[in-house]
Amino acid sequence: MLAVAGLALVAAGCGGGGDDATTSANGCADVEAPAPREGGGETAPSTSLDASKTWTLTFDTSCGTFVVTLDLDSAPHTAASLVSLARDGFFDDTIFHRIVPGFVIQGGDPTQSGSGGPGYSTVDPPGAGASYAKGVVAMAKTATEPGGSAGSQFFVVTGAAAGLPPEYAIVGTVTSGLDVVERIGKLGDPASEQPTQPVVIDSVTVGSGS
CA distance 135 to 207: 19
Q: How many residues does the chain have?
A: 210
Q: What is the pTM of this model?
A: 0.89
Write the CB contacts of 165 (distance below 8 Å, at least 6 apart in sequence): none
Q: What pLDDT is attached to residue 10?
A: 31
Using CA atoms, how far residue 89 sits from 8, 31, 193, 210, in Å, is: 22, 20, 26, 24
Q: What pLDDT is attached to residue 162?
A: 73
Q: What pLDDT is attached to residue 82?
A: 98
Q: What pLDDT is attached to residue 208?
A: 95
Q: How confident is the model at residue 5 (pLDDT cuts 50, 70, 90)?
A: very low
Evaluate if residue 21 carries a pLDDT over 60: yes
Domains assigned to the chain: 2-9+55-202 (2.40.100.10)
Summarize the confidence of residues 120-139 as an average pLDDT: 95
Write the CB contacts of 4 (distance below 8 Å, at least 6 apart in sequence): 103, 104, 106, 140, 155, 162, 164, 168
Write the CB contacts of 90 (distance below 8 Å, at least 6 apart in sequence): 42, 110, 118, 152
Question: 91 forms bridges with which residues in the sheet?
Answer: none
Helix (H, G, I), strand (E, B) or coil at 182: helix
Helix (H, G, I), strand (E, B) or coil at 162: coil
Q: What pLDDT is attached to residue 20?
A: 52
Condensed to tens digits (0 to 9), the pLDDT of residues 37-70 reads 999 999 999 999 999 999 999 999 999 999 999 9
Q: Per-residue b/e over 55-76, b at no fewer than 16 CB within 10 Å?
A: bbbbbbbbbbebbbbbbbebbb
Answer whether 63's CB lies under 8 Å from 183's CB. Answer: yes
- What is the full DSSP assignment across 72-120? TTT-HHHHHHHHHHHHTTTTTTEEEEEEETTTEEEE--TTSSS----S-
Q: How confident is the model at residue 86 (pLDDT cuts 50, 70, 90)?
A: very high
Answer whether 112's CB lies under 8 Å from 36's CB. Answer: yes
Q: How confident is the model at residue 2 (pLDDT cuts 50, 70, 90)?
A: very low
